[in-house]
Chains A and B, each alone.
Chain A
């Protein structure tokens, strides 16, 4: 059974703070993803990683950075949190390639920036 876990379910931070969101998967997947989900906008890709230390920008990378030092762990970093980064953050993982490979999602982190 694929398991993707995220470090926090709920997080409250102040504007300007540095925020770390951690994601861990236990299925030896090559690919890992960070999305944010906002009402009416759906899921938007922030960054993804296709291998250790490799990353690629998604559709909305501004204000975010990522780190992947180990295959099973993918971190999202908000260098200086702002109120417009209040959102639900979802981590996902998948095997690389193949038309049928899908993504498996973690439970999500609901971040509130005050």
Chain B
């Protein structure tokens, strides 16, 4: 079982819609969770992190964490074609804070 699992997609949404990206993790002791965006041919860039149960909002982005169910989500409101990218979920190793586990990413296509 992988430490972090994501649906590879592609997920297609029309412009202006809400895109919902999901990630599950296997280690119940995990505490810190990160969402990265990666444009084709580019390196990952951090969108936001979350470590408390519930929702965390930053502009059009909302991260949701449910530790009991071991999943973390990223919602993108008012999706734009410029949001088209691969979104990587990352979980910090709870036993070695220097290490991260990454999912394989979900490809999002926002259609004009």
Residues of A within 8 A of B (CB): 31, 35, 40-45, 48, 50, 56, 58, 90, 94, 96-108
| Contacts between chains A and B (CB distance < 8 A), count | 54
- Secondary structure at chain B's binding surface: helix, strand, loop or mixed? loop
Task: Judge whether A102 and B34 touch: CB under 8 Å.
Answer: yes
* Contacting residues, chain B, for A56 (C-beta < 8 A): 98
Mark B15-56 against chain A: 1 for CB-CB distance below 8 A, else 0.
000000000000000011010000000111110010100000
Nearest chain-B residue to A91 (Cβ)? B43
Measured CB to CB, the residues of B under 8 A from A are 4, 8, 31-32, 34, 42-46, 49, 51, 88, 90, 92, 97-100, 102-105
Min CB–CB distance A49 → chain B (angstroms): 9
Shortest C-beta distance, A25 to chain B (Å), equals 13
Which of chain A's residues have a CB closer than 8 A to the CB of B44?
43, 90, 105
B43 touches A106 (CB 8 A): yes
Contact between A107 and B51, CB atoms less than 8 A apart? no
Enumerate chain B residues within 8 angstroms of A107, measured Cβ to Cβ: 42-43
Assess the A41–B43 pair: CB atoms within 8 A. no
Residues of A with C-beta under 8 A to B46: 102-104
Also in contact, A103 and B100, with CB within 8 A (given A40-B8, A43-B88, A90-B43): yes
